[in-house]
Chain A
Amino acid sequence: MGQPYHIRSFCSIQQETILLNGKPVFKSEQEDFDAFAKEAYKFIDIKYPKFFKMDHLSKLAFLTANLVLDKENITPDEPSNTALVFANSASSLDTDRKHQESIQNKDNYFPSPAIFVYTLPNICLGEISIKYKLYTENSFFIFDSFQPQKLIAYTKGLLDSKKAENVLCGWVEFDGKTYKSFLYLVSAKGTLEHTEETILKLYNA
């Protein structure tokens, strides 16, 4: 069986709304994601100018992670052994399309380095790691759909082997105008059981 683990805090962002531990903390009228993200950034009071250079997937992951980690007092000032295990189904397709557009026309061939560097989904893990000074394990999986049992197994492996004290894990999806994030922090402490049933209930809330 091994040691039981628990969910400490969780956050979801979709349809211009942010829920933290199940409670709405921010809602915007901005349907454009960049405008929504800018409002959310100011509301959370992040103060990290590089945020505005990130692609959509990284902005979404960064905002969600920020809320969970801050809620649990995991800050850049205090080194924390927090691993990151994320997944989605669209990979970095949203940014891949932008890059493709910039190289479509041979007579107007000007690929943007700033876009190209985000043509991998795991870059968002790097952005979070840089901000929070996490020199820890991280993985980004591509699944057809949200599959908590796979995240549970991987997370448990990291915690059982003492490779991490906490694991921030979940789903970060951005494709066209549709987006959804759901991240939760798992450790030995916490109030919610780290089970497939609990995770699915929180994901669908």
Chain B
Amino acid sequence: MATQIKAGESYGFFTDTSVCIGCKACEVACKEWNQLQGNEATFLADSFDNTGQLDAQNWRHVKFVEHVPDQSATAGNGTAWLMMSDVCKHCNQASCMEVCPTGAIIRTEFNTVFIQQDVCNGCRNCISACPYGVIGMNPQTGTAHKCTLCYDRLQGGLEPACAKACPTQSIQFGPLSELQQAADVRLATLHSQGVTQAQLYGRDETVYGGLNAFFLLMDTPETYGLPSAPNAKLPSRNNLGGYAGAVLTAALAVVGGLIAFRRRVTG
């Protein structure tokens, strides 16, 4: 999708998993552009996946979900092997940004979520908060790393490396409003073809206020390792309960202490 990139506009990814072929070109392009050395090669014995997860060295990860039915699928409607190129969702209400105590995690002029490497001090609070398991620690730099949505490329007017490399247009980059329209059209097409299980994830505000990197899925979000909308909650939801429990305990403990220490012992 050729597009002119302007500061002040929201950009993102629309990842259409129905056309992902699991080639991992996105992973390779991401590593090459961002000079990620990758983790030590391992054999995970998990489908065609030896990347394993998103982390400091893997900012794109093609998930393989083996989903073989008991009966053969009809031609063209196979969902036995689901593939999804996963990435940071660049949430509108970002859990990582919410808890970051240093201000290292910012929203860029392209409305993406970015970790400033010279500000981050490696406290890892963002890792405990990210509901998608996106962020990883780089032991060499001692800082948290994740997809930048190719911030440097956007500043230069270039689309992100993964979208550029994707041979099936499973990963589409562009202004968010255009991507949302494209997703709506694609979903309607699939539904009209009888692929009723197709659904959009993060297209609307029900998941973290909307995701800048949203998906067309061929099964439930949980199948792909994504929290469903009712479970997509910000960490701050627990402030009230946590502090209320602590205040109540503090009050009772002080009363207990005063009772113990007020009691007089003679003799």
Q: Do A and B come from one complex?
A: no
Binding site for A on B (CB under 8 A): none
